[in-house]
Amino acid sequence: MQKKYLTIYDDLVDKIKAGIWPVNTLLPSENDLTNRYETSRETIRKALNLLSQNGYIQKVRGKGSIVLDAHKFSFPVSGIVSYKELTKQLNITSNTIVQELSYMETPSALQELVNIEGNVWRAVRIREIDGEKIILDKDYFSEMHVPFPTKEICEDSIYQYIEEELGLTIGFAQKEIVVEEPTKEDYELLSLEGFSNIVVIKSHVYLDDTSLFQYTESRHRPDKFRFIDFARRI
Amino acid sequence: MQKKYLTIYDDLVDKIKAGIWPVNTLLPSENDLTNRYETSRETIRKALNLLSQNGYIQKVRGKGSIVLDAHKFSFPVSGIVSYKELTKQLNITSNTIVQELSYMETPSALQELVNIEGNVWRAVRIREIDGEKIILDKDYFSEMHVPFPTKEICEDSIYQYIEEELGLTIGFAQKEIVVEEPTKEDYELLSLEGFSNIVVIKSHVYLDDTSLFQYTESRHRPDKFRFIDFARRI
DNA sequence: TCAGTCAACTTGTATATACATGTTAACCGA
DNA sequence: TCGGTTAACATGTATATACAAGTTGACTGA
């Protein structure tokens, strides 16, 4: 089954981006859209609620759905997005250096924290942008869920491998952003001349069956770090 | 009308926090809850989808709704939350110093950026925690929406004033987190000895009629900064 | 015993209806 | 002309029904 409300959502996103309905104007009413897409109002409302959650429209009772400035809000660094997807969205050309790819027992420091049973494998990758080494990604995956991969997979996209090759479904993530002092490793592997801080994004990523399968530290040079979030009240 | 799905949501949140349904167990099924709350399944589903969005449960088709570890995810710094609400949630005792409260024409630097018509008023507040000046909040409000307030309001909660006294409804916000070098003002007003970076959260906050009414820069000492986000894939 | 089937659950999607509630503009009467 | 009323229309909430699709465990038959 192709989910009707998702195809309608995608269609509306395309049309908003194409400027069919300019910013600050109203979308057609729910009843109008119900007729256009030959569906029920509830299905239209599901699609519109997705648009609202993702910052494309603001629904106002009695008036309609106002189109927001998508350009301002089209930089979603919140959410779960792989680095490959991110570079594609932002139109960045980037080079990934696989610094380390190893198999190990779960470090005791991570044991409690990560709560991964069995062994893990670890990937350390450097993201190079415009010839500068900006980001250091340190990933731990539980082998229970994700078998040891090849270097090629790590150079491309581990998430693509996990979702498309292994058929796993990523459910949710808990992310924490803090600022730390760089470690020796940071100074060795990144272009950190003159910087005395590093932004660290620590993520616990879970499958849809709620099992933890990944812990990641993404370490960013502070001047290149930017996090954008769209939030709604209540 | 009291929204039934919201009262059910609040009730379920309370019960999950109270441990009625332990972590990693299943909630009663949707049909079961439908009977318990004497409502329809769609209403239960609205409440459950809210729980899912806010990280309390993971819904799995064919199985049920799994209770997630609320303690891990109970630090929602994403979303739109006032500083007063935040300190209450985190059980922090904090002191607010109103450094400046002024009325001015919209600065030309903000004119384009903020797109506020007419004049603005500006509040500069220092947040003191454990005797240390940790956060510098610089707020700009359009007088068109928010009349010039008293010092007492700024010491308490501007948001409470806006929502409860003025009856305005906050709709959404666009937030950007970056790391900058501290300005002279930062060094003067905050306890920044030995720090060469500052974390800046820049927010554009809109009413539910999509009009911009506030621009804020919240400047945090890096060692005390922590941002936590719960995200779902897709 | 064991493998396979199937029934009885679960959540997900789609539709229809009714009424509540907020917005807007046309209309009407003083 | 002006102000209030009201009808038409917008979205929000609640309910009911039907079927799709994933999970689980019991049952059946070889």
Distance, CA of B22 to CA of A123 (rounded, Å)? 34
Distance, CA of A131 to CA of B192 (rounded, Å)? 33
Residues A81-114 have pLDDT tens digits of 778 888 887 788 889 999 999 998 887 666 644 5
Query: Is nucleic acid strand C under 7 Å from B45's C-beta?
Result: yes
Residues 15-34/B with CB < 7 A to strand C: 27, 29-32
Distance, CA of B151 to CA of B97 (rounded, Å)? 10
Would you give the DSSP letter of residue B135? E
A176 contacts on B by Cβ (under 8 Å)? 226-229
Of the residues B9, B56, B227, the best mutation for testing chain A's interface (the one with the most A CB atoms within 10 Å of its CB) is B227
Nearest residue to A113 (alpha-carbon basis) of B49, B73, B72, B173: B72
Q: Which nucleotide shows the minimum CA-to-C1' distance to residue B61?
A: C11
Q: What is the pLDDT of residue A109?
A: 63
The pLDDT of A137-159, averaged and rounded, is: 88
Per the model's pLDDT, the better-predicted residue between A47 and A232 turns out to be A47
The pLDDT of A66-95, averaged and rounded, is: 75
> Which pairs from B56-60 meet CB under 8 Å and 24+ separation?
B56/B12, B56/B13, B56/B16, B57/B16, B57/B27, B58/A171, B58/A172, B58/A206, B58/A208, B58/A209, B58/A210, B60/A208, B60/A209
Residue A148 has pLDDT above 80, yes or no: yes
Name the average pLDDT for chain A.
88
Per the model's pLDDT, the better-predicted residue between A34 and A206 turns out to be A34
A225 contacts on B by Cβ (under 8 Å)? 177-179
CB of A179 within 8 Å of a chain B CB? The answer is yes
Query: Is nucleic acid strand C under 7 Å from A92's C-beta?
Result: no
Question: Residue A38, Cβ neighbours under 10 Å: how many?
Answer: 7
Query: Which chain A residue's Cα is nearest to B181?
Result: A223
CB of B173 closer than 8 Å to CB of B80? yes
Q: What is the pLDDT of residue B87?
A: 83
Residues A113-146 have pLDDT tens digits of 455 567 889 999 999 998 999 999 999 998 878 8
Expressed in angstroms, the distance from the first to the final Cα of chain A is: 33
Q: Which nucleotide shows the minimum CA-to-C1' distance to residue A28?
A: D10
Q: How far is CA B135 from CA A231, B154, B200, in A?
A: 21, 15, 10
Alpha helices in B65-171 (DSSP H): 83-90, 108-114, 151-155, 158-160
Nearest residue to A68 (alpha-carbon basis) of A23, A1, A129, A9: A23
0.85 surpassed by pTM: yes
Distance B3 CA to D14 C1' (A): 10
Per the model's pLDDT, the better-predicted residue between A35 and B71 turns out to be A35
Residues B139-153 have pLDDT tens digits of 999 887 888 889 999
B173 three-state secondary structure: strand
A79 contacts on B by Cβ (under 8 Å)? 231-233
Q: What is the pLDDT of residue A72?
A: 58
Distance, CA of B28 to CA of B24 (rounded, Å)? 13
Q: What residue ranges of chain B have pLDDT lower than 70?
A: 1, 70-80, 108-117, 234
Amino acid at A147: P
Q: Where in chain B is the domain with CATH 1.10.10.10?
A: 4-67
Nucleotides on chain D that have an atom closer than 7 A to a protein CB are: 9-17, 20-24
CB of A142 closer than 8 Å to CB of A105? no
Query: Is nucleic acid strand C under 7 Å from B65's C-beta?
Result: yes
Q: What is the pLDDT of residue B106?
A: 81
Q: Where in chain B is the domain with CATH 3.40.1410.10?
A: 73-228
CATH of domain A4-67: 1.10.10.10
CB of B60 within 8 Å of a chain A CB? The answer is yes
Q: What is the pLDDT of residue B78?
A: 61
Q: How far is A63 from chain B (nearest CA, A)?
A: 10
CATH of domain A73-228: 3.40.1410.10
Name the average pLDDT for chain B.
88
Pick from B80, B208, B231: CB nearest A231: B80
Per the model's pLDDT, the better-predicted residue between A200 and A71 turns out to be A200
